[in-house]
Amino acid sequence: MWRVGERAFDCSERTLVMAILNVTPDSFSEDGRYFDPEEAVRHAARMVSEGADVIDVGGESTRPGSDPVPVDEEIRRVLPVIERIVEQDSNVPISIDTRKAEVADRALLAGATVVNDVSAGGDPGMFDVVRKHDAAIVLMHMKGEPKTMQQSPEYEDVVGEVHEFLRERVEASEFAGIEAERIAIDPGIGFGKNLEHNLELMRRIDAFLDLGRPVLVGPSRKRFIGAILDAPEDERVEGTIGAVAWMVSRGAHVVRVHDVREVVRAVRVIDAIVRTGR
């Protein structure tokens, strides 16, 4: 069970689709096309019509090599979009993709109900903000910072080390007063991992199920898919669906993607095969 605002998603019944809405001028895949708030809100409505369960709004690119964005600028980017989406459709949960407690606080006040934190509570104030708003949170593993995370990342046991990190962060968030059913975990595919690390994490995604929380995965259009297919960002839909299909069939509960319609259709078929009769 994953409690998001007033919603309670039973993740054993079907796969949830979290739709990516980057309101940045430098997102790795969308080239700033949704930086304009009006276009961002229209795109959110399209993704909801295509079957998105959650809209994940981000105002700071965390692509490899990206620079951090000041708090005020990140708030300026995301707040108008969140407010407009809430006005238009209050039934679809909104996630704020941020690692800053102050940004999360403002977004939750505006109507978001999830914090998708790539630093898993790295900001000392993040857990307090999430608890105060009775929000949900996604705890993600990232080795290093976006600026440098892809500069020769090393692990002795990538699955074991990521598992231990997430176990500790779940424990820390619960100790801070966040209800267990509001916590999801994300192994951070593409965040401080090379191609083999990413493949191993996906190959053994079921290793994270014993943490007892919904497992969210985000392979969408990532660089490792481009490396396998020798394809640019806008030609990685099939590769994304392949990665999603593998991980959902092995227990992943939530998929974070750009191409909502295609992935919603794919996971409906996968769920019919895998989840029916369990």
pLDDT tens readout for residues 208-255: 999 999 999 999 999 999 999 999 998 999 999 999 999 999 999 999
pLDDT given at position 75:
97
pLDDT given at position 67:
80
For residue 1 the two structure tokens come to 């069970």
| Residue 100 appears among annotated catalytic residues | no
| Residue 256 appears among annotated catalytic residues | yes
Starting at the earlier edge strand, list the strands of the sheet with 136-140: 183-186, 136-140, 114-117, 94-97, 54-58, 16-22, 254-257, 216-217
Single out the catalytic residue among 33, 256, 275, 278.
256
Paired sense of beta strands 114-117 and 136-140, if any: parallel
pLDDT given at position 103:
98
pLDDT given at position 21:
96
**Whole-number CA gyration radius for the chain:** 17
Averages of pLDDT over runs of 10 residues in the chain (278 residues) are 95 96 72 72 95 96 79 96 89 96 98 97 98 98 78 91 98 98 97 96 98 98 95 94 98 97 98 80
Q: Which of 150, 157, 88, 100 is nearest to 125 (CA)?
A: 100
Domain spans of the chain, in order of start:
2-274
Single out the catalytic residue among 77, 84, 143, 222.
222
Beta bridge partners of 2: 9
- Whether this model's pTM surpasses 0.85: yes
Q: In this structure, which CATH number among 3.40.50.2300, 3.90.180.10, 3.30.70.60, 3.20.20.20 belongs to the domain 2-274?
A: 3.20.20.20
For residue 214 the two structure tokens come to 């919904």
